[in-house]
Structure 1
Amino acid sequence: MKRPFFAIAFAISLTVLAMPFADAEEITTFVIEMKDGVLSPERLEIPARTQVKIILRNTGETPAEFESLRLRKEKVLAPGVESFVVIRRASPGEYPFFDEFHIETAQGVIVAR
């Protein structure tokens, strides 16, 4: 008598736990490479009003810092480190960003369309 109860309870638990994942929104992902004062790409177009993930890769031999004042995002990366920032539904427009450790040469723009 206990086995059917546990089997039903287990099945319900799995269903409830899986529900948030079934509705999870797929996040569009982009990559920005930072290498000793060079950004690639310098211009990144993303969909407006959509959550996006930007993977930041410091492939250089010096520290890098992704910073965008308009987006209120900042991330410091040691040499060889990868991290990410998530942008939540940016309005259409241009959002400058730069590598604060190489501000003279490493400036770019994220364009939300």
Structure 2
Amino acid sequence: MEADHRVMDVRLSRQAQLTAAQLAPVHAGAKLKDPEPGNPTMSPMFRPAVIAAFCAAALAYVPASAADVHTVELTLKDHKFSPATIEVPANQRFQIKLTNEDETADEFDSTDLRVEKVVGGGKTGIIRIQPLVPGRYQFMGEYHAATARGIVVAK
């Protein structure tokens, strides 16, 4: 375990590492000493600009909320999916809201979609799918594969 920490320390750039001696004055309220005098990227004047740029970039990246993702309703009853064929827009993320009306659990499974999700009997689960190129993608209920089958069609 200790070796793992040493490997991580080596990966940190020299500029990002602060020693205890450099941090001690900060705790006392003093200004942070420039660890490499003459290096403009480490000057105290440059640090606020880097922090501001990082914050602006972080705020610019706001992931889409769940409400913005196309949702398809799917029901599993008597070990059969309804509807058996789902149409979704191609090249867009979407999610399947699977309601299992059977008393027993089943696993939504698709090698085509690269997803597996167990949904308990009488429960609802959300299956998130990454953007798909146009085509047909098979899925099944793994515990009842003979009857629980369906297809996603991306258009």
State the TM bucket, normalised to the shorter chain: 0.7 to 0.9
* 1:65 maps to which of 107, 119, 134: 107
Instruction: Mark the runs of 5 or more structure 2 residues left unpaired by the alignment.
Output: 1-55
Query: Quick check: 1:24 aligned with 2:83?
Result: no
In structure 2, what is the equivalent of residue 6 of structure 1?
none
- The answer to whether the Cα contact below 8 Å between 1:46 and 1:112 also exists between their aligned partners in 2 is yes
In structure 2, what is the equivalent of residue 91 of structure 1?
133
Query: SS at 1:66's partner residue?
Result: strand
Q: Distance in 2 between matches of 1:35 and 1:61?
A: 9
**Greater helix proportion:** 2
Partner amino acid for 1:58? Answer: N
Matches within 5 A, 1:1-113: 24=64, 26-113=68-155
Query: Whose radius of gyration is greater, 1 or 2?
Result: 2
**TM-score between the two structures when normalised by the length of structure 1:** 0.77
Query: SS at 2:112's partner residue?
Result: coil
Instruction: Mark the runs of 5 or more structure 1 residues left unpaired by the alignment.
Output: 1-15
**TM-score between the two structures when normalised by the length of structure 2:** 0.57
Identity of aligned residues (%): 36
